[in-house]
Structures are given as C-alpha cells and as structure tokens.
Amino acid sequence: MSDNFQKYGSLFQVDEEHFDTFFSLLKSITLEKSEFFLQQEEKCQYIGFVKNGSMRSFYINENGNDVSFIFHFNNQFFTDYESILCDKKSNLNIQAIHKSELLLLHKDDLQKLYNKEAYWQEFGRKMTEKLYLDAKKRIEDLLYYTPEKRYKNLLKENPLVFQQIHQKHIASYLGITPQSLSRIRKRIATN
C-alpha cells in the first residue's frame, strides 16, 4: 500500500486497485495568496483538490461587488463543474486565500477514465452527487434561514472560516453587509 493511497485513498473515494492510475494523472501546483485558479470568462479545465491551504469561489455581481459562494479548505475538492460539463466560459472566480498546495485533475483525463471502465463512471457520479448536494445546501441556507441562523450554522459546521477568512468575505457569503455581520456577532456574544 503506497503512502499516497494511505493519505488520499479514502478522501478521493478511490479503491487501492485503481488508485495509482488515478494519482498518476494528478498535477501538483502551488498558488500564492490571491493567485487565481480560475477567473470569470475562462473555461475551467481542472478539478482541484486542496492539499494544504484555502480557496474561495466567488462571483462578481452586476454592481461590481464580489459575492462569496463557497470556501474550500484542506482535503476538499473544488471546481466550476458547470463550465467543465457544458464546455462554457465560467461566471465563477476561484482564488487562493492563502498560499495553497493543490492537486489538479484535467477534465480530459477524467473523461478518459470514464471511457476506460464502469468503475470511473461511478466515481464521477459520486463526485457529481457531492457537488450537487453542496450546492443545494448552499441555496437552501440562503432561501430558508435568517442571516443570524446562517452565521450560527457556519460557525458550527466550519469554525475555521472565522480564523482564516476576512470578515468582508464571510459577510458576502452570508448575504449581508460587514456591518450586519458585526451586529450579529455582538448579539450572539452578549447572549
């Protein structure tokens, strides 16, 4: 059993028999703080995995403001799957919050795996299901919960966000202004 399999096998949800094939296709890169993995109007070519660091996916709205969509930390996948799936330019920006070590799988290599055997089609389905469920949860959070409840949920589910992410990005992720975030934090601290 290889060291890489022990480290990443369960995270990638790839069995030992198929792991070396998969891992040989990955490209390792480092992005410096604020460097982009993907910018709006580019076509996304890769599925990324954060080995170490943190990334932020965000949109620029029609008023020119950036709106955080999701944060990605150690041992998490990220991409603009719509851009890959539809072969279209992205509306999304994905940027390193801190210096980040990444593993990348090119979309063409993923397609070759899909064509190789049914195992990889199941792998792709599971990955797509995970991306779908994450996006659905994000949408439900915005539609169903108050900003204070979204803040509490984020604090419970991912306390690292508050240590690693600038407050203005957290506020945009929650769909509120930085001032509203300050008020929520004060209200919770006094309760």
Q: What is the DSSP string of 18-41?
A: HHHHHHHT-EEEEE-TT-EEE-TT
Expressed as residue numbers, the domain containing 103 is: 3-130
pTM for the whole structure: 0.90
The torsion angles phi and psi of 95, rounded to 5 degrees, stand at: -135, 145
Decide if 94 is inside a domain.
yes
Instruction: Note whether 57 and 8 are same-domain residues.
Output: yes
Q: Which two tokens stand for residue 188?
A: 């919770």
Instruction: Note whether 15 and 46 are same-domain residues.
Output: yes
Q: State residue 67's pLDDT score.
A: 94
Q: State residue 112's pLDDT score.
A: 95
Instruction: Note whether 112 and 154 are same-domain residues.
Output: no
Q: State residue 43's pLDDT score.
A: 98
Decide if 136 is inside a domain.
no
Q: 136-170, pLDDT tens digit by residue?
A: 999 999 999 999 999 999 999 888 888 889 999 99
Q: Which residue from 153, 37, 45, 142 is spatially nearest to 99, judged by alpha carbons?
A: 37
110, 118 contact by CB (below 8 A):
no
Instruction: Note whether 9 and 82 are same-domain residues.
Output: yes
Q: State residue 1's pLDDT score.
A: 56
Q: Which stretches in the chain have pLDDT values below 70?
A: 1
Q: State residue 25's pLDDT score.
A: 95
Instruction: Note whether 70 and 149 are same-domain residues.
Output: no
Q: How far is CA 157 from the centre of its chain?
A: 15
Decide if 26 is inside a domain.
yes
Instruction: Note whether 81 and 156 are same-domain residues.
Output: no
First to last CA, the chain: 51
Instruction: Note whether 105 and 27 are same-domain residues.
Output: yes
Q: SS3 of 75, please?
A: coil
Q: State residue 191's pLDDT score.
A: 75
b/e string for 11-30 if b means 16 or more Cβ within 10 A? ebebeeebbeebbeebeeee
Instruction: Note whether 18 and 108 are same-domain residues.
Output: yes
How many structural domains compose the chain? 2
Instruction: Note whether 39 and 124 are same-domain residues.
Output: yes
Instruction: Note whether 108 and 32 are same-domain residues.
Output: yes
Q: SS3 of 58, please?
A: strand
Decide if 114 is inside a domain.
yes
Instruction: Note whether 100 and 161 are same-domain residues.
Output: no
